A and B are shown apart, each in its own frame.
Chain A
Amino acid sequence: MARSINWLQVGAALLLGLLGLYVIVQGSGYDIGSLRRMGPGFFPVMIGSVLVLFAVLLVLEVWHSEKEKDFWIPRPILTITAGFVAFAALLERAGLVPATVALVLLVSLAEKPVRPVAAVATAVGLSVLGVLVFIYGFGIPVSAFEW
């Protein structure tokens, strides 16, 4: 019985192998030293080599493994990415409240159907909580609004 190749799993294993190769190449750029007195490059080269070895074995293991369904979910990934980027960009420039509102509204788009009322209510509630707990309570170095 010939089963088709699971390219997704094989691709993941190959990526891990490439990462291992990169660790070896980059690691050997640091001082390797000797066994008696190891430099900062020794351990990375060792780890990278084992990673490459495991990745090769992994390719063999997953070659014919069962395929994943509905693997690619662009909507949640993109909306959550947008939310995090907005939060990170706004936090120190515009303040905690705008950052929180942007984050909550953007990530609320991840699921269908979008519920605007619930999203706005959550955004307001979390903004109040964030200002009270994190700015007044823990004193994180951010203001609620940056003018």
Chain B
Amino acid sequence: MDILNNLALGAEIAFSWQGLLFCFVGVLVGTFVGVLPGIGPLAAISLALPMTYYLSPPIALIMLAGIFYGAQYGGSIAAILLNLPGTASAAVTCIDGNQMTKQGRAGVALFTAAISSFCGGIVAIFMVLGFTPMIASFAMDFGSMDYFSIMLLGLVAASTLSVGSPLKGMTMVMLGIALGLVGTDDTSGTERFTFGVLALSDGISLVALAMGLFGVGEILANLGQEKRAPLKASGLTFKSMLPKRHEWSGLWKTILRGSGIGAFVGALPGSGPAIAAFMAYASEKKLARNPEKFGQGELRGVASPESANNAAVQAAFIPTLSLGIPGDAVMAVLLGAMILHGISPGPELVTSNPEMFWGLVVSFGVGNIMLLVLNLPLIRVWVRMLSIPYHVLYPAMLFFICIGVFSVRSSVFDVYTALFFGVIGYFLIRLRFPAAPLLLGFILGPMMEVHFRRALLLSRGDYWTFFDSIPSTVFLILTALFLVLPLWAAFRKRTARTANLGD
């Protein structure tokens, strides 16, 4: 059996002492940043990026991925106990999770969240195993026009599916692509938008940009806010966490549905775990016989989004590993990490670097088991984390940002870059411009330009080349749909409003 050989190869990587150690470090850091509100997996992954230079690429990726899904486990803790989502994708968990805390059932909610996340992760691992090699072999024949079109689809989907204004999302994508132009043009060697600054001839540092927008920007936004109430240490025991039998009955169906929705939504380009969690919750509420219970401490309202967001995180690796196209901003940074390690992501990855792909997939399983152990018996340690005062936390975070940004290429200039984008990031947050599409545009922009130029070079300047191949045509039609749908929705809302006013 071919797949067994491959899994054995993956197990060799994932169960090596380095694989186990750095998988553990990853999920530990991930849970930590997930628990702490105001610092998400994106900032943590960009922070850990410079440190992975000392690791071999598969190990580095195992650790970075561990941060991403570890944060999904941790994110639910702050959501349930404090009504503060530790990560954006845990926002839905707040609704019922925090209600349960108010009713004194915090333990049950935390237990369910951990189990649901685990099941979601396992379901998604099988999706990744099954689909990634398949999609990759399908994409082997992709030409430049196909790549350009699918990247366009990813960018449009990411900006229109995000929370808030689709137009703002798309504008941020364009801003990101514009920032990606800075540096030396690969084809002609011309320096573009460098203002004669030598440090910019290699382009804007990805780590500095990400840390600025998601690290410094978030910290500034938090400092400008009202003070939050400190957490009262609650008496959590392992026994209080076990749900009663009547609560548990039928819950597995909810978890399976949530996992399925999460895995499917997560695999689409442009949609992240937050959207998956939201969709799973909404459909669970629709299916329920007693939907009025949702929002008042319903256990299914915790199980559904938590299984979906962790499933989505793992499934998000499908487009990244099979096509080299990241689905959301975190994946984009992971992709950037792979490029920095000298690996060109694309359909060849599964066959040319099998130890990378299979090692990563096996480590997902290992990491999820580690997380279950970290989150059930050790829950009180994490709860105590929530009482670290912010006035100690934010200077430490700023220090790690400064030193982390500097250490990527030993450049003081990048520290100023991070500061610059930190202030910009703060204004973007307050003006409700989503920063994630910006980062996605920044990473995909240069790849899109290369494919755009190559496609038109090969077709001798004929734009119809983008409709010559079937995949490209399908991607462009989907892109058009994503563009039209929000417009149509806005139009319907407006006509509904004017109709109401007319009555």
A interface residues with partner B (beta carbon < 8 Å): 8-9, 12-13, 16, 19-20, 23, 26-27, 30-31, 34-40, 42-44, 47-48, 50-51, 54-55, 57-58, 61, 68, 70-71, 73, 76-77, 80-81, 83-85, 87-88, 91-92, 96, 99-100, 103-104, 107-108, 110-111, 115, 118-119, 122-123, 126, 130, 134, 138, 140-142
Contact = CB atoms under 8 A, between A and B. Distances in A.
Contact of A84 (B187, B193, B415): B415
Kindly state the interface size class of chain B when it binds its partner.
35 or more
B22 to A, nearest CB: 15
30 contacts: A8-B431, A12-B433, A16-B175, A20-B178, A27-B192, A31-B190, A39-B188, A42-B453, A47-B177, A47-B178, A47-B181, A47-B445, A54-B170, A58-B168, A73-B224, A76-B224, A77-B220, A77-B426, A80-B216, A84-B418, A84-B422, A85-B419, A87-B415, A88-B416, A92-B412, A103-B395, A108-B395, A111-B391, A118-B391, A140-B407
Contact of A54 (B174, B418, B431): B174
Contacts of A85: 416, 419
Contact of B460 (A36, A57, A61, A110): A36
Nearest to A96: B403
Nearest to A30: B190
B456 A77 contact: no
Q: Which of B174, B407, B449, B453 has the most CB of A within 10 A?
A: B174
Given A26-B193, A30-B190, A57-B167, A91 B396 contact: no
B201 to A, nearest CB: 13
Given A84-B415, A142-B406, 9 more contacts: A23-B181, A23-B193, A31-B188, A38-B452, A40-B192, A68-B430, A91-B415, A104-B398, A122-B392
Interface in B27-46: none
A138 B219 contact: no
A100 B399 contact: yes
B396 A126 contact: yes
The 7 closest A-B pairs by CB, nearest first: A35-B461, A36-B461, A73-B224, A76-B223, A40-B185, A84-B419, A40-B190
B457 A37 contact: yes
A126 B394 CA distance: 12
Contact of B395 (A12, A96, A107): A107
Contacts of A96: 403
A19 B178 contact: yes
Interface in B201-232: 216, 219-220, 223-224
Given A134-B407, A138-B51, A43 B395 contact: no
A91 B51 CA distance: 19
A91 B406 CA distance: 10
Nearest to A93: B412
Contacts of B452: 38, 43
Interface string B373-401: 00000000000000001111011101100
B162 interface: no
Contacts of B390: 111
Contact of A118 (B170, B185, B392): B392
A126 B395 contact: yes
Contacts of B433: 12
B399 A80 contact: no
Contacts of B224: 70, 73, 76
B419 A81 contact: yes
A8 B433 CA distance: 13
A55 to B, nearest CB: 7
Nearest to B53: A138
B54 interface: yes
Contacts of A27: 181, 192
Given A12-B433, A44-B181, A138 B407 contact: yes
A11 to B, nearest CB: 10
Contacts of B177: 47
A147 to B, nearest CB: 19
Interface string B170-182: 1100110110010
B430 A111 contact: no
A81 B431 contact: no
A55 B171 contact: yes
Given A38-B453, A119-B395, A43 B181 contact: yes
Contact of B406 (A16, A51, A54, A140): A140
Contacts of A37: 457
B398 A80 contact: yes
Contact of A40 (B174, B188, B396): B188
Contacts of A43: 181, 449, 452-453
Nearest to B177: A47
